[in-house]
Structure 1
């Protein structure tokens, strides 16, 4: 194992990682988990509400920096504190949002001019539709290189990398 894999570990975890690393060929990497939900960090969610205040800190007493005004917009949770989640949008801007404004429904925002939605996860398959830059689509499922998206009554598969809201290694149904 390389030294870099130990830099994020502290205390007793280091000794355990050293032993595990010596016994296995694959490097041991500690997955960060939320202190409140025990879900992975970072992770993607979407805005449940059509409007949500983004605050400087995790409480109502903190100043509102801006307001998100796009329902279903994908956001990435980077931290948790009580009923608050620190989120980040595709531009890297973020702050603290109350958890009740967020949904576990996965969405993505198109980052190319025209994104082809294929009938199957195969570039040779027919194109069902094209999504314009900035369209927010629901992520229905993801495989290693492709995700199935749904927007405006259209559904199809697109390669990862042309939209924001999914990690390269995300796989789910």
Structure 2
């Protein structure tokens, strides 16, 4: 998977990313059962082979706000799964409970309301990260740098049940 489109974006991409203003502390994360959605809250976050700082760093994420799925917990460590299905361990202080999503369609349509017939507001290409709002009837509110609208849930990763 090292050659996948997302890995190249994670290391070198500069696609639009919505700002995150609130971050919940690791204590709040400890109360949640796995799996659950989270996002990377740092500009540079290390994923390790195991749940301790002594384990080798396997990947460096350089994509703040990237959605991840937390699949296991071990103390202050979280085993995450990224949008490509890669897993590694990350310290909880590098994660936020702020919900984000990433587009997985080649081109996604952002509409004014949650239906195919609604006005087309703008389009997003694959790999755009945005804040995730409410989801209903297969549509989710999606906000990229304060430009918002509705996108089909099947066009994003990070929505629905983890």
Pick the TM interval, shorter chain. 0.7 to 0.9
Alignment of 1:86-97 (within 5 A): 86-97=79-90
1:3-37 alpha-carbon deviations (Å, 9 max, x no partner): xxxxxxxxxxxxxxxxxxxxxxxxxxxxxxxxx82
Partner of 1:73: 66
Q: 1:112 aligns with which of 91, 105, 130?
A: 105
Q: What is the DSSP-based 3-state SS (H/G/I as helix, E as strand, rest coil) of the residue aligned with 1:123?
A: coil
Alignment of 1:41-56 (within 5 A): 41-56=34-49
Partner of 1:149: 142
Partner of 2:22: none
Report how many aligned residue pairs link the two structures.
Answer: 134
Matched, 1:61 2:54: yes
| Offset, 1:92 | 1.0
Alignment of 1:154-169 (within 5 A): 154-167=147-160, 169=161
Matched, 1:100 2:93: yes
Q: Distance in 2 between matches of 1:110 and 1:40?
A: 26
- Runs of 4+ with >3 A deviation: none
Q: What is the DSSP-based 3-state SS (H/G/I as helix, E as strand, rest coil) of the residue aligned with 1:120?
A: coil
The answer to whether the 8 A contact 1:53-1:67 is kept is yes
| Offset, 1:117 | 0.9
Structure 2's unaligned 5+ residue stretches are 1-28
TM-score calculated relative to the size of structure 1? 0.73
Q: Distance in 2 between matches of 1:146 and 1:110?
A: 13
